[in-house]
């Protein structure tokens, strides 16, 4: 359910005054955007289950707006819902607020916003796991600070360096975690010519919030640290990542993305090494890896189709079948967005 092209376009629109140019700017009207995403996939676990499914892969509908509060100061907001359930009229839809926030921005101080949105850690260092459309087997990076109840800040660009910070405010009776907590994240992103470097940390001082509909207790209170390096060579982008959390897991990943006209090709390898005291006994002291291939074609400025293949492996039992360690997913999909 990762919408790389869509997410990039919306992110640019959210924090850019240029997005309100033309007729919208003249009348100061909000921008409405959305997408319908369909996918047909085959998911097979060696020695276990096998399934074919036609599904909604994350269709969304949203609205955003900004306006000038004073010279050099702009206010903005965004509201987006997902889980539209557009694949089957007989299936009850479970609408969810995916992003909802308000904020202010200015050239001299950066941007500050509050509400529910992608976290600073995710924006800075989790490129690979957020890149693919279906993302069934991509490695999960273990950090606990959720996307809701957050106050976030992104600094101006200081000669290629941008600083991000976030704090989540969890009250006494907020969700299932009956205690106050103020988990925080910090990130630094540096760009020079074709090179990008990023570092981020999550304090993990509370339960995971807004992960689906429920909150669960944190695995432990150890920090999560993440590093990312990316390099752009004309039509080729190369990315490497590393994430670590003591007594939980280490995650590594490399990815290459090649663009050729209206086509995009991506290949990645990810590996997670779980510690021997990890809470999930099926994964404790085991390795899980994934090879992912994507071929995507843009039919127009508003529509694209894709194929994605995933091959998962690792130590025996990682997919719930004794003495087996292979899972494969093949998917084809189409997305229309505006």
CATH number at residue 204: 2.40.160.10
As beta bridge partners, residue 163 has: 188
Domain count, the chain: 1
User: Which residues are CB-neighbours of 159 under 8 A, at least 6 positions away?
Assistant: none
| Alpha carbon distances (Å) from 245 to 199, 201, 248, 259, 333 | 14, 10, 5, 34, 34
Tell me the chain's radius of gyration from C-alpha atoms: 20
What pTM did the predictor assign?
Answer: 0.87
Q: Which two tokens stand for residue 138?
A: 């991509």
Query: Domain range for residue 55?
Result: 4-337
C-alpha 63, offset from chain centre:
19
Integer Cα distance of 43 and 76 in angstroms: 41
Would you write out the chain's pLDDT as a tens digit for each of its 338 residues? Answer: 454 444 444 344 444 433 334 444 456 889 999 999 999 999 999 999 999 999 999 899 999 999 999 999 999 999 999 878 888 776 666 778 889 999 999 988 999 999 999 999 999 999 998 999 998 889 888 888 878 889 999 999 999 999 999 998 877 655 555 567 788 999 999 999 999 999 999 998 865 543 434 455 667 888 999 999 999 999 999 999 999 999 899 999 999 999 999 999 999 999 999 998 787 777 888 999 999 999 999 999 999 999 999 999 999 888 888 888 999 999 999 999 99
């Amino acid at each position: 359910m990762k919408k790389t092209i869509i997410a990039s376009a919306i992110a640019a629109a959210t924090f850019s005054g240029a997005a309100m140019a033309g007729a919208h700017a003249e009348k100061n009207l909000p921008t409405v955007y959305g997408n319908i995403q369909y996918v047909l996939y085959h998911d097979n676990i060696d020695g276990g289950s096998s399934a074919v499914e036609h599904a909604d892969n994350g269709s969304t509908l949203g609205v955003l707006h900004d306006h000038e509060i004073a010279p050099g100061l702009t206010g903005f907001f965004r509201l987006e819902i997902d889980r539209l359930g557009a694949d089957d009229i007989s299936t009850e839809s479970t609408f969810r607020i995916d992003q909802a926030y308000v904020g202010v921005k200015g050239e001299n101080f950066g941007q500050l916003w509050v509400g529910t949105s992608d976290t600073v850690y995710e924006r800075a260092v989790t490129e690979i796991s957020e890149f693919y459309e279906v993302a069934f087997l991509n490695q999960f990076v273990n950090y606990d600070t959720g996307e809701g109840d957050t106050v976030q800040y992104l600094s101006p660009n200081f000669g290629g360096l941008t600083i991000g910070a976030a704090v989540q405010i969890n009250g006494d009776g907020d969700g299932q975690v009956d205690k106050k907590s103020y988990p925080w994240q910090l990130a630094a992103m540096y760009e020079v010519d074709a090179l990008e470097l990023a570092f981020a940390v999550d304090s993990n001082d509370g339960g995971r919030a807004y992960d689906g509909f429920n909150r669960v207790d944190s695995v432990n209170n150890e920090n999560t640290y993440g590093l990312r390096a990316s390099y752009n060579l004309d039509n080729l982008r190369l990315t490497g990542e590393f994430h670590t959390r003591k007594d939980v897991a280490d995650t590594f990943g490399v990815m290459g993305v090649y663009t050729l006209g209206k086509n995009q090709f991506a290949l990645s390898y990810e590996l997670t090494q779980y510690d021997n005291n990890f809470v999930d006994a099926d994964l404790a002291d085991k390795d899980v890896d994934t090879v992912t291939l994507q071929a995507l074609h843009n039919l127009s400025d508003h529509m694209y189709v894709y194929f994605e293949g995933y091959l998962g492996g690792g130590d025996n039992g990682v997919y719930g079948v004794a003495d087996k360690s292979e899972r494969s997913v093949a998917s084809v999909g189409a997305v229309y967005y505006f």
